[in-house]
Amino acid sequence: MRCLQSSHWLAAAVAAVVVLSAGPRLAAQPPGAAQQRQRPEPKMDPERAKKLYASNNPDDHSLGRDFQRDIDEKKKTDARFAEASKGVIDFQKVSYRSSVGDLDIPAYLFQPLQKRGPKGHAAMIWVHGGVHGNMDVLYFPFIKEAVQRGYVIITPEYRGSTGFGEAFHKAIDYGGYEVEDTMSAVSYLKALPHVDPDRLGMMGWSHGGFITLHSVFRDEHPFKAAAAIVPVTNLVFRLSYKGPSYQRDYTTQTRLQGLPFEKPDEYIRRSPLYTVDKLRVPLLVHVATNDTDVNFVEDQQMIDALRSRKPDLAETKIYVDPPPGSSGGGHTFSRRTDLKTLERMDTPEQRDSWNRTWAFFEWHLRPYEDRSKSATSQQ
């Protein structure tokens, strides 16, 4: 035992002598410092750096876009809506002031040809999708069905929508002011005497589903029910998953100007996944496993959150690999429209989704009820 202790003491003494003889410089250096000094700087790969770069300068937003072409295309859309609505729907182009106070918001208004009396109709706000998308004629067959069921439908072209010039386009505010633009349509609807303010709903697809979720995940709102189909749910996850080519549509927005790691609180605030607990009205959400736009790994987060924390309010369904639409895999599975005839292209999944959607809203909004008659009978 004594020999073992002596050997330990000797080893310690030798180590101390080595350190002291090296002088104070070596003794003061942290572990691994020598290796760090020797590690060469990584070589910059200009091509890869270019691919990874996401500007935060608003002047770089939508560089090279042909805004006049967008305006011309929108005129064609207006003409098709007007033509398809003849004798079937009361179609109007309208506008209203956003509650934010800085923009007039264009919108389409679709109503039954024969209006009921005061508070006779339920009404819904329908919200289009797309980063710089707009209300397209592919929605027409479903709008027609809604109006035939007794609904008044308004479809806002919130800030950033295409077809309204450069300034409106660059005013995009994803998850921010655009939500207020959309909700401001409520005031327009309430000003129509035949709309019942106690029977208001909202429905949106993709980016529009994202706006719908934001609208009902808040402390106060006027909606009795809502539906979000293949909705964007989590920008923190989404921008990371999609990468730089997608990030550039966000980082150059005037009220963002950065990525989630630079502005985490702002991106969390703009992601409805983190406010699920505020839901207090019935909500329907349908998603697809083969969605390559809003990938299922993103939507699954919302489905799981609703099923675990709001099971009494949320009606959810996952469609497994429905027939894909024109783009985005299953992203448009419930919006399959023949753009020549403007009739719906039926599939079992689309039929099932819409049957569930109509049943959901009919239960909560009662569009078949003409409450103007009941109001008259009570007088």
**Domain CATH for 138:** 3.40.50.1820
Backbone angles phi, psi at 294, to 5 degrees: -90, 90
Residue 247 lies in a domain: yes
DSSP-derived letter for residue 291 is: B
Query: What is the reported pLDDT for 199?
Result: 98
Q: Residue 370: helix, strand or coil by DSSP?
A: coil
Number of domains in the chain: 1
241-271: per-residue pLDDT in tens?
999 999 999 999 999 999 999 999 999 999 9
Query: What is the reported pLDDT for 36?
Result: 60
Average pLDDT, the chain: 91
Query: Could you give the angle at which helices 348-365 and 140-148 cross, rounded to 10 degrees?
Result: 40
Task: Quote the domain boundaries for residue 76.
Answer: 54-378
Residue 102 lies in a domain: yes
Residue 44 lies in a domain: no
Residue whose C-alpha is closest to residue 105's, from 50, 174, 32, 183: 183
CB count within 10 Å of CB 283 equals 24
Amino acid identity at 145: E
End-to-end CA distance of the chain: 108
Q: Is the CB of residue 125 less than 8 Å from the CB of residue 96?
A: no
184-221: per-residue pLDDT in tens?
999 999 999 999 999 999 999 999 999 999 999 999 99
Q: Is the CB of residue 195 less than 8 Å from the CB of residue 370?
A: no
Query: What is the reported pLDDT for 39?
Result: 78
Query: Could you give the angle at which helices 235-242 and 244-251 cross, rounded to 10 degrees?
Result: 130
8-66: per-residue pLDDT in tens?
433 443 343 333 344 444 445 566 555 566 778 888 899 999 999 999 999 999 999 99
Residue 6 lies in a domain: no
Q: Which neighbouring-strand residues pair with 157?
A: none
Residue 246 lies in a domain: yes
Residue 71 lies in a domain: yes
281-337: per-residue pLDDT in tens?
999 999 999 999 999 999 999 999 999 999 999 999 999 999 876 667 899 999 999
Report how far apart, in Å, the C-alpha atoms of 68 and of each of 65, 121, 233, 323 are: 9, 38, 32, 35
- CA atoms of 312 and 304, how far apart (whole Å): 14
Backbone angles phi, psi at 267, to 5 degrees: -70, -35
- CA atoms of 170 and 351, how far apart (whole Å): 37
- CA atoms of 13 and 187, how far apart (whole Å): 85
Residue 66 lies in a domain: yes
- Both structure tokens of 205: 């697809």
The label of the residue with tokens 């399959």 reads: 336
Residue whose C-alpha is closest to residue 259's, from 247, 249, 271, 270: 247
Residue 210 lies in a domain: yes
Q: CB-based burial of residue 115 (10 Å sphere; 0-12 exposed, 13-18 middle, 19+ buried)?
A: middle
- Both structure tokens of 241: 């998953």
Q: Is the CB of residue 175 less than 8 Å from the CB of residue 271?
A: yes
